[in-house]
Amino acid sequence: MLLTSYRLGNLTLPNRLVMAPMTRARAVDGSPVAETATYYAQRATAGLIVTEGVHPNAVGQAGPFMPGIHNASQVEAWRVVTDAVHANGGRIFAQLMHGGRIGHPDVAGHHPVAPSAIAARTEVFTAAGVVPAPVPRALSLNEVRDQAQAFGDAARYAVEAGFDGVELHGANGYLIQQFLSSNANQRTDGYGGSISGRIRFAVEAVEAAVDAIGAERVGIRLSPGGEVQDIVEGEMPELYGELLKALPDMAYIHVLATTDDEMLMGLRKAWPSAFILNPGGQIGPHESTREQGERWLANGADLISYGRAYLGNPDLVERFRLGLPLVGTDRDTWFQTPRGYVDYPTYQH
Q: Got the DSSP string for 26-84?
A: --BTTB--HHHHHHHHHTTTSSEEEEEEEBSSGGG--STT--B-SSHHHHHHHHHHHHH
Can you give the pLDDT at residue 317?
97
Q: What digits encode the pLDDT tens for the residues 14-39?
A: 999 999 999 999 999 999 999 999 99
Enclosing domain of residue 24: 6-333
| pLDDT higher than 90, residue 243 | yes
In a domain, 194, yes or no: yes
Can you give the pLDDT at residue 284?
57
Q: How many domains does the chain have?
A: 1
Binned at pLDDT 50, 70 and 90, residue 282 comes out as low
| pLDDT higher than 90, residue 124 | yes
CB 167 within 8 A of CB 219: yes
162, 29, 118, 196: CA torsion to nearest 10: -10
In a domain, 341, yes or no: no
| pLDDT higher than 60, residue 285 | no
DSSP tally for the chain: helices H, then strands E:
11, 14
Can you give the pLDDT at residue 137?
98
In a domain, 213, yes or no: yes
Strand partners, 170: 222
Show Cβ contacts of residue 82 under 8 Å, excluding neighbours closer than 6 positions.
92, 161, 162, 163
In a domain, 31, yes or no: yes
In a domain, 155, yes or no: yes
CB 170 within 8 A of CB 177: yes
Q: What digits encode the pLDDT tens for the residues 52-104?
A: 999 999 999 999 999 999 999 999 999 999 999 999 999 999 999 999 999 99
Strand partners, 75: none
Count of C-beta atoms within a 10 Å radius of residue 104: 24
Binned at pLDDT 50, 70 and 90, residue 260 comes out as very high
Cβ-count burial of 15 within 10 angstroms (0-12 exposed, 13-18 middle, 19+ buried)? buried
In a domain, 348, yes or no: no
In a domain, 344, yes or no: no
Q: Amino acid identity of 108?
A: A
Q: What digits encode the pLDDT tens for the residues 128-181?
A: 889 999 999 999 999 999 999 999 999 999 999 999 999 999 999 999 999 999
Q: What CATH number has the domain bearing residue 112?
A: 3.20.20.70
What amino acid positions are annotated as catalytic residues?
174
pTM across the whole model: 0.96
In a domain, 52, yes or no: yes
